[in-house]
Amino acid sequence: MQRQPLLVVTIDTEEEGLWSDSFRERGNTCENIKELPRVQAIFEKHSVVATYLVDYPVATDDPAIAMLSGFQDGVGVEIGAHLHPWCNPPFATLPPELQRSEARTFAHRLPVEIQREKLRALRDRIAEVFQRAPTSYRAGRWGFDATTIPILEELGFSVDSSVFPLSWERVDGGPDFSSASLEPYRLNAEDACKSGDCSLMEVPMSALVTGRLGQTVERLARPLGPARGLRRALELLGYRSLRPELWGPEDLRRVADAVVSRGVPVFNVMFHSSVCLPGATPYAKDATDVARFCSRVDDLLEYVLAVHGARSVALSTVPQILALENAQH
């Protein structure tokens, strides 16, 4: 019997400064959070659980806290963590090679102790203002590798969603997920976890090459890594993701169909909170773009729920649900 796919909706809930490449420590604004009721209404329309992955500026902004707390008072909302290391205390002095490099914006490039202290500060702040410690996580700018895994375990996280299959950042210090799997998996205990089996699960972004030859293209592309021109070639061949801020309804449906046809158990829909504020991101330059984005979200959720019979869940519950389903099968 075919298992019922799970649907997680993960929102990087953050300040606007990222999109101006300013990477400021302080003085960041969170005006976009005021616009979130528009998408929250879509989630409630479809009885969809939203996982808001919150960063430090949002967790210290009183209006943003009030808005997200109001969502929590309803049903179907999870608050997770999202680390932007450049605006998350403590602001320790970085090694000279990182101080003036864009690498400092990727958490996995920081010394392990600085990573740990920043993640601890973020976890503690979220627990204080939202009355519950977060257990789900995504790194800002996808800045994740094995160095972060034992820290997340130590701090009580159970799920990471920082891996973006077949993607990479070519800038200094950026992550490389060119060979990453689409399937959820337990993170590598031998490489990254000091004690026994790793309890942390990775729930990657839903990103793949659509079309009849999609898996063949992926198999050929993975050994090439982040080769120049490969990203553009993959997009021309059908590489897409469940990101309604980037792709239109037909592309999103094709990704959803491919996820199911490959037997992947989780749809991972992702977007940035700031896409809801006109002009705050390259993805929505005006109110018309925001309306178009909201329509895409509405269409995608209806499609995966009605056509593919998905079950909407919080990101943090995925490991337990998959473990139970695997035991039953």
Query: How does DSSP assign 33-93, residue by residue?
Result: GGGTHHHHHHHHHTT--EEEEE-HHHHT-HHHHHHHHHHHHSSSEEEEEEE-GGGSS--PP
Q: Is 271 helix (H, G, I), strand (E, B) or coil?
A: strand
Question: Average pLDDT, stretch 129-139?
Answer: 98
Of 15, 88, 82, nearest to 51 by C-alpha is 82
3-class DSSP assignment, residue 144: coil
d(CA 312, CA 303): 13
pTM of the model: 0.96
* Calpha distance 147→110 (Å, rounded): 9
**Model confidence at 194: pLDDT above 50:** no
Q: Which amino acid is at 270?
A: M
CATH superfamily of 6-208+241-328: Glycoside hydrolase/deacetylase (3.20.20.370)
Q: Which residues pair with 312 in a beta bridge?
A: 7
Per-residue pLDDT, 181:
94
**Are the beta carbons of 241 and 247 closer than 8 angstroms?**
yes
**Model confidence pLDDT, tens digit, residues 89-116:** 999 899 988 988 899 999 999 999 999 9
What pLDDT, on the 0 to 100 scale, is given for residue 196?
Answer: 46
Q: What is the pLDDT of residue 329?
A: 64
Distance CA 87, CA 84 (A): 6
Alpha-carbon 305 to chain mean position: 20
pLDDT bucket at 56, cuts 50 / 70 / 90: very high
Say if residue 69 is exposed, middle or buried (CB neighbours under 10 Å; 0-12, 13-18, 19+). Answer: middle
Average per-residue pLDDT for the chain: 94
Q: What is the average per-residue pLDDT within 256-269?
A: 98
Question: What is the separation, in whole angstroms, between the first and last Cα of the chain?
Answer: 9
